[in-house]
Amino acid sequence: MKLYYEPRMFDYMPESVDRDRMVVATYYVEDVRGEDEFIDHLRQVERLALEGSTSSWMDVAEETDELRERLTSKVLGYYEIPAPKGTKKAIVQLGFPDGAWDKNLNVPMLLLSIAGNFFAFPTKTRLLDVTIPSAVAKRFQGPKYGIEGIRKILGVEKRPLCLQIIKPKMGMTPQQTADQVYQSALGGADLCKDDEMLSELDICPLEARLEAVLKALEKAEKETGHKTLYMVSITDEVDKINEKARKAVNMGATGLLLAYSAGLSALRVLAEDPEVQAPILLHVSHMLGLLPTINFPTLAKLCRLCGADMMLTPSIWSSIPVASLEESLRVSQTLHAPFYHIKRTWPMPAAGMYPGLMPELVKENGPDIIVPAGGGMLGHPMGYKAGAMAWRQAIDAVMNDIPLEEAAQQHPELMAALQTWGLRKRPATPWGYSGPEYHPKFAPKNI
């Protein structure tokens, strides 16, 4: 007699399996049917688990008991969420045995297991987390440099870093690009980068642009003693990325910009190329289209695993708000957290950043962040150099616990930035109490 629920899939809990041999994915699954319709949600979960491993919609003779035991996904947890009649909601944990990749662990095949066909079946599915066991992680190198490596290159021990985004996104000549970054470097920008939209244009080929920018930054360093890294865009077809990266590194490139649209596999191959000795900044623009089905912390963990030294991350202060406060901060925490041998990745709270945000960004994310600024640096009323100076002044003030409005009294560049874009204060919360009137921090001073 065939059981409704296959024991080789369902008779498990997290303690039942060797977690060091299994990738565990956590999902939110929601199904909506007619109010009087019977919903067997575990059958839906079975369908998801089989889609990520061995089975078809029909039984096949070659799918033996031994094969299912060894390779079929395991249902490790089903945690129902209260829902209206006619709706089923649950958090589901599925375990994917690493035997599926015993000979060739590659990123495309891993993604097919944890984020493949089954997004098509429930009314709503979102991948919430992927737990990578050490046996799988040890087959990845992760970032070449990470937070500590880039701090060593720049000689900066503790403070946040500021990065200038070259604007406009495209259309400038190599010399115009070099002149712009030269001014920002004089003002103390730690890094500068091509915009992710910059492709190979006749008026601004990679080689000419890289040569001009490196000369400008070398000149600025001789004048100030301050080093600035340039992240040159190498985004292209997958068979050209490493070739461009090697060429750029041979020319002296100090960093590389790769867009997520090239794919996680391209990132991993680039990061693990021994000839590519330069930090990689991953631009996440294309990734944003995945957020309805995969949350940002999970994507960030995979990007770190695949070798991103730094990557743009969400923030509630952003001009492109794509994630909640909690999800945004879990991204930074995920990139900072211990992860076997994998180096830490720089979070980069991004889009619409300006110096008046610096206290809140550091309090939320800690000092191990890079803050990228395009208009929030280049739009400074006193010019590009002053725009970079304002960022450095804001960073120094925050690291010395000096309020920005006080620091601005001594620094006209910072004052102009605050007058132009403002100074933000994060709302306080009485979370954990009945309301503000009961929270000690909000108590009236009746003295």
- Residue 333 is part of a domain; what is its CATH number? 3.20.20.110
Q: In terms of DSSP H, where are the helices of 337-447?
A: 358-365, 375-378, 384-399, 404-407, 412-421
Q: Are residues 29 and 112 in the same domain?
A: yes
pLDDT of residue 72: 83
- For residue 203, what pLDDT is reported? 84
Torsion region of 366: left, alpha or beta (phi above 0 gives left; psi -120 to 50 gives alpha): left
Rounded to whole angstroms, how far apart are CA atoms 63 and 72?
10
Active site residues: 167, 283
pLDDT of residue 447: 64
Element (H, E) at 70: helix 65-71
Report pLDDT for 328: 97
pLDDT tens sequence across 131-146: 999 999 999 999 999 9
- For residue 260, what are the domain limits? 146-346
Q: 3-class DSSP state for residue 32?
A: strand
Q: Which helix (H) or strand (E) holds 296?
A: helix 296-306
| Residue 44 φ then ψ, to 5° | -65, -40
Q: What is the pLDDT of residues 264-304, one digit of tens each?
A: 999 999 999 999 999 999 999 999 999 999 999 999 999 99
Query: In 133-193, which residue ranges form alpha helices assigned H by DSSP?
Result: 134-137, 146-154, 174-186
pLDDT for 49 equals: 85
Counting beta carbons within 10 angstroms of the beta carbon of residue 358, is it exposed (0 to 12), middle (13 to 18) or buried (19 or more)?
Answer: buried
Q: Which pLDDT score, from 0 to 100, does residue 171 have?
A: 79
Same domain for 185 and 227, yes or no, is yes
The answer to the question of residue 327 being in a domain is: yes
Do 90 and 195 sit in the same domain of this protein? no
Where a domain ends, among 119, 137, 155? 137
Considering the domain architecture, whether residues 81 and 131 belong to the same structural domain is answered as: yes
Q: If residue 90 lies in a helix (H) or strand (E), which one and from where to where?
A: strand 87-97
| Weakly modelled stretches of the chain, pLDDT under 50 | none
Q: Which of 188, 186, 225, 229 is nearest to 391 (CA)?
A: 188
Q: What is the DSSP letter of 85?
A: T
Which H or E run contains 232? Answer: strand 229-233
